[in-house]
């Protein structure tokens, strides 16, 4: 496959990104400190301990299910978009990630890594990690004991481009993802991207990705051109996902133009609030429109502990029962759709109380572990799943078993 020059981005060698040793050591030290504080025993656990959900820090196979990557060609296209500017709220973060001076190779993040709390500084150092599908990523995984990344093309995917460009870049991205999996078949699995801008071509790419490339499902970055998947023009995409039996991961992005105004201040548009509100709204549109009655076997995945929807289900049922309002088409309660059609991941939410609630509310078979790499640090996410107050059976399902079943990952 030929490569093309893309300005500063072509300077990144995605096969030889230097390992950030200082960050890796810091993460390992943090993890070691956490496990020491929890009193992890070195001796073999007793049977009673195995069944005791309060026993902390259990080693377990770990498949992280919302892990982003990028290819140089898409990165260059995103850079071109952000340089044109516009009112789209995603432009704020994308400018920092894809068109920041700190993303040049002369800025070695290992020399002066910013604190995790400095989100702006950290965002300027994300691109090398996104582009790396070999040494650096694997070193990060190995440093914290992560067995596998389920990879997906990072925000914004191909959804900001015109239709023809998006179709071509989706195909190229999926090809490069497949190549990375072939290089590291025990470490990577993958979710395909597609171009919702052209639903007919999207369906073709979905079919090729599953049938030819053997990818494990799809990820869409929520709205496209301010449109949501409940709109009839997108139904072929939902029909294809259902027919292929492959999960559709709905990843957040900044709120669409119609809901953007209150999110323009205080950087509310991103992961702190806007992402969850936006993706949760998308999921509710699918439920209340009745689209999930048309596609009852469609499998959808939401990240970030279900974008807060599990905590709202009682009120959603009370207000959203079938026939409660004119203009809705749902035949089931929202909680019934959620339990039938949705699974969630823990990406970016490392709260044991939230995890326990979601398991109890949705069932243990509907919850999967994730990191949200490289936007979230690896070591704390690993410490979270190893020390959360779960039984060994629960931990195994959340950490890897559910992902293997839902995404068809063979080990």
- The pLDDT profile of the chain, 411 residues, written as one tens digit per residue, is 444 344 444 444 433 333 343 443 344 333 333 333 333 332 333 444 444 444 445 689 999 999 999 999 999 999 999 999 888 999 999 999 999 865 444 344 445 556 667 878 888 889 999 999 999 999 999 999 999 999 999 999 999 999 999 999 999 999 999 999 999 999 999 999 999 999 999 999 999 999 999 999 999 999 999 999 999 999 999 999 999 999 999 999 999 999 999 999 999 988 999 999 999 999 999 999 999 999 999 999 999 999 999 999 999 999 999 999 999 999 999 999 999 999 999 999 999 999 999 999 999 999 999 999 999 999 999 999 999 999 999 999 999 999 999 999 987
The three-state secondary structure class of 60 is coil
Q: How many helices (H) and strands (E) does the chain have?
A: 19, 8
What was the pLDDT predicted at 301? 98
In this structure, the number of other CB atoms found within 10 A of the CB of residue 70 comes to 28
Cα(123)–Cα(112) distance, integer angstroms: 14
Which token pair is 217? 């499902």
The angle formed by the CA atoms of residues 155, 159 and 163, to the nearest 5 degrees, is: 155
- pTM (predicted TM-score): 0.84
What was the pLDDT predicted at 355? 98
Domain locations in the chain?
59-71+136-407
Please provide the size of the chain in residues. Answer: 411
Contact between 306 and 312 (Cβ < 8 Å): no
Cα distances from 220 to residues 170, 293, 321, 348, in angstroms, run 11, 21, 28, 18
Topology (CATH level 3) of domain 59-71+136-407: TIM Barrel (3.20.20)
Element housing 249 (H / E): strand 248-250
The single residue of 134, 317, 372, 392 carrying the catalytic annotation is: 372
What was the pLDDT predicted at 126? 93
Query: Residue 104 has what DSSP assignment?
Result: S
Q: Does 351 participate in catalysis according to the annotation?
A: no
Q: Sheet with 367-368: list strands edge to edge.
A: 218-220, 248-250, 300-302, 342-345, 367-368
Cα distances from 288 to residues 77, 275, 282, 362, in angstroms, run 35, 20, 10, 19
Cα(232)–Cα(304) distance, integer angstroms: 27
Residues facing 190 on adjacent strands: 151
Cα(102)–Cα(98) distance, integer angstroms: 10
Cα(51)–Cα(28) distance, integer angstroms: 27
What was the pLDDT predicted at 44? 35
């Amino acid at each position: 496959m030929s490569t093309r020059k893309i300005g500063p981005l072509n300077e990144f060698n995605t096969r030889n990104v230097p390992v950030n040793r200082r960050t890796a050591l810091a993460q390992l030290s943090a993890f070691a400190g956490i496990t020491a504080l929890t009193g992890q025993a070195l001796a073999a656990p007793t049977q009673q301990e195995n069944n005791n959900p309060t026993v902390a820090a259990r080693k377990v196979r770990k498949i992280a299910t919302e892990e982003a990557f990028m290819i140089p060609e898409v990165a260059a296209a995103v850079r071109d978009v952000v340089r044109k500017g516009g009112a789209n709220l995603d432009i704020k973060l994308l400018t920092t990630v894809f068109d920041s001076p700190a993303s040049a190779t002369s800025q070695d993040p290992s020399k002066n890594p910013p604190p995790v709390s400095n989100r702006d500084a950290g965002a300027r150092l994300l691109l090398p990690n996104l582009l790396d599908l070999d040494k650096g990523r694997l070193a990060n995984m190995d440093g914290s004991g992560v067995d596998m990344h389920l990879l997906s093309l990072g925000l914004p995917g191909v959804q900001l481009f015109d239709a023809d460009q998006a179709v071509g870049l989706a195909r190229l991205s999926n090809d490069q993802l497949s190549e990375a999996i072939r290089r590291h078949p025990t470490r990577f699995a993958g979710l395909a991207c597609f171009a919702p801008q052209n639903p007919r071509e999207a369906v073709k790419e979905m079919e090729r990705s599953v049938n030819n490339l053997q990818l494990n499902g799809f990820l869409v970055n929520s709205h496209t051109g301010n449109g949501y998947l409940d709109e009839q023009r997108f139904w072929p995409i939902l029909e294809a996902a259902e027919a292929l039996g492959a999960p559709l991961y709905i990843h957040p992005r900044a709120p669409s133009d119609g809901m953007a105004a209150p999110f323009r201040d205080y950087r509310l548009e991103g992961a702190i609030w806007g992402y969850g509100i936006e993706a949760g709204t998308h999921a509710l549109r699918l439920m209340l429109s009745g689209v999930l009655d048309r596609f009852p076997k469609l499998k959808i995945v939401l990240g970030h502990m279900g974008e807060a929807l599990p905590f709202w289900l009682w009120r959603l049922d009370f207000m959203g029962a079938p026939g409660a309002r004119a203009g809705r088409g749902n035949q089931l309660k929202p909680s019934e759709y959620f339990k039938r059609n949705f699974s969630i991941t823990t990406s970016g939410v490392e709260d044991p109380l939230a995890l326990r609630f979601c398991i109890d509310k949705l069932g243990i078979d509907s919850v999967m572990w994730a990191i949200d790499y490289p936007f979230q640090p690896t070591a704390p996410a690993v410490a979270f799943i190893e020390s959360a107050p779960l039984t060994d059976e629960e931990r195994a399902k959340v950490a890897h078993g559910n992902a293997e079943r839902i995404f068809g990952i063979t080990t």
